[in-house]
Amino acid sequence: MLCRDADACYWIGRYVERAEATARMVDVHYHAALDSGMSYNVEDVPPGETEPPIHWASLLKISGSDEDFYARYESETDRDIIQFFAFDLKNPHSILSTWNRARDNARSIREQIASEMWESINIFYLELREWNVDRVLEGSPHEFFERVKRSSHLFQGILNRTMLMSETRDWLDVGRFLERGDQTARLLDVKYHDLLPAYRAIEENAHPAVEPLGVGSQLDIHGWIAVLKSVSAFEMYRKVYPAGLRSASVVDFLVLNPQFPASVRHCVKRVDGCLTRIGDGPKESETAMEPQRLIMRLMADLQYVRPGSIIKSGLHEFLEDIQVQCADLGDSITKTYLSY
């Protein structure tokens, strides 16, 4: 397969997945805040002022775009946040930006993919041009985010149904699963710190007596549900852990569960499957074996660790390391297979 085409497939996979992840996160945060009954970090709000209804800062951190946002926007109003995450073309990770880029890539390889796949991307591209922040806020924001999710699902469904079990599909999947795993790790990393102020205090004071793995307050539970919902994991989590919501279980489910389709472990395993089928990099490449080495290491980290020990030795450090490894893997794949 042509390097340029493989590169385009890889990025289509990533961008479509990223658009969906962004839509999910903004959607769930927006709606979870509505019935939380209180704001998350009440102590952050100066007395006498009404707290912002939604704690958006963590969302900005997840996508690594807080600097960009605060440089160009004054406040964290719903309107600004939705504009930024959905329609701001200066934000390279906004839904509109990522979908446009997915389309550009699809257009450059439309002879490689089924026409229906191209059409599903193009149709939503045309639909997106008719949306703006006013229209989203006028009606139900959920309706808009649902449209994004469904378009991503439609694309992936058509992909599953029409594409040959070939290298083209493998590259689309490498992008899709690498992005999905990375997004799950980011989400958990940021929200974990948001949600467990008590635990954060323990970390800071190095107080070993408090058990951080217990059930949190009402607010924590609400927050964990939001996290699970934002990756469509809540119902499945219930089936696996009927005993209830415990932070260690959520971490186990989202990071280590081999069956949940958005767990980091599952995603990395899918990437590994694709790369195994694709085979070694070209002989001409200096790093022909590097992606395989990196992925074996990442798999080992995810396969042989226990959730309790992750939390004890620092969930943030663990997740940060996973994110770094995902980024290295992406770079190595690009360098080995896709550069031209």
Partner 1 sequence: MSLFESYRTDPFFDEMFFENGEPRPHYRKLFQHLKDMTPEEFKRRVALADKTLINQGITFAVYGDGAGTEKPFPFDLIPRIIPADEWDLIERGLKQRLQTLNLFLYDIYHEQKVLKDGVVPRELVINASNYRAEFQNADPPGNIYVHICGTDLIRDADGTYRVLEDNLRTPSGVSYVLENRTILTRVMPFMFRDLPVRPVDNYTTQLLSNLRELAPASRQENPNVVLLTPGVYNSAYFEHAFLAQQLGIELVEGRDLEVRDNIVFMRTTKGLERVDVIYRRIDDDFLDPLVFRKDSKLGVPGLVHAYRHGNVALANSIGTGVADDKVIYAFVPKLIRYYLGEDAILPNVETYLASEPDSLLYILENLDKLVVKAANESGGYGMLMGPQATKEERDEFALKIKENPRNYIAQPLIALSRAPAFLGECCEGRHVDLRPYLLTGKRGMTLIPGALTRVALKKGSYVVNSSQGGGSKDTWVLAKEGMSQSQGNGSQTQTMGSMTQTLSSSKSQMGSPLSSNPAQTSKGNE
Amino acid at 305: V
Shortest reach from residue 103's CB to partner 1, in Å: 9
Please, which of residues 76-105 interact with partner 1 by CB under 8 A?
104
Amino acid at 169: R
Which residue lies nearer to partner 1 by CB, 126 or 300?
A: 126
**Counting contacts by CB under 8 A, is residue 300 touching partner 1?**
no
Cα torsion 22, 175, 3, 168: sign: negative
* Cα–Cα distance for residue pair 276/294, rounded to 1 Å: 13
The correct pick among 138, 283, 286, 304 for binding partner 1 (CB under 8 A) is 283
Helix 141-162 with 3-34: angle, nearest 10 deg: 150
User: Per-residue string for binding with partner 1, 102-131, x by CB under 8 A?
Assistant: --x--xxxxxx--x--xx--xx--x-----
Q: What does 259-279 look like in DSSP terms, one character per residue?
A: SSTTSHHHHHHHHHHHHHHH-
* Cα–Cα distance for residue pair 176/152, rounded to 1 Å: 11
The correct pick among 35, 130, 211, 284 for binding partner 1 (CB under 8 A) is 284
- Nearest in space to 163 (alpha carbons), one of 295, 46, 1: 1
In this chain, which stretch among 1-9, 24-32, 175-183, 321-329 interacts with partner 1, using CB under 8 A?
Answer: 1-9
**Counting contacts by CB under 8 A, is residue 281 touching partner 1?**
yes
The correct pick among 2, 38, 324, 327 for binding partner 1 (CB under 8 A) is 2
Q: Which two tokens stand for residue 64?
A: 């690594």
* Cα–Cα distance for residue pair 195/216, rounded to 1 Å: 9
Which residue lies nearer to partner 1 by CB, 171 or 224?
A: 171
Shortest reach from residue 288's CB to partner 1, in Å: 9
In this chain, which stretch among 77-85, 242-250, 277-285, 295-303 interacts with partner 1, using CB under 8 A?
Answer: 277-285
**Counting contacts by CB under 8 A, is residue 1 touching partner 1?**
yes
Which residue lies nearer to partner 1 by CB, 119 or 301?
A: 119
**Counting contacts by CB under 8 A, is residue 30 touching partner 1?**
no
The correct pick among 53, 214, 279, 314 for binding partner 1 (CB under 8 A) is 279
Could you tell me if 183 and 21 are in contact, meaning their C-beta atoms sit under 8 angstroms apart?
yes
Shortest reach from residue 112's CB to partner 1, in Å: 8
- Nearest in space to 172 (alpha carbons), one of 279, 1, 16, 12: 12
- Nearest in space to 271 (alpha carbons), one of 253, 250, 298: 298
In this chain, which stretch among 76-84, 297-305, 307-315, 332-340 interacts with partner 1, using CB under 8 A?
Answer: 332-340
Site size toward partner 1 (CB under 8 A) is: 30
Could you tell me if 311 and 212 are in contact, meaning their C-beta atoms sit under 8 angstroms apart?
yes
User: Per-residue string for binding with partner 1, 157-176, x by CB under 8 A?
Assistant: ----------x---x-----
Q: Which two tokens stand for residue 75?
A: 């406040």
Coil, strand or helix at 165: coil
Contact positions toward partner 1, by CB under 8 A? Answer: 1-6, 104, 107-112, 115, 118-119, 122-123, 126, 167, 171, 278-279, 281-284, 337-338, 340
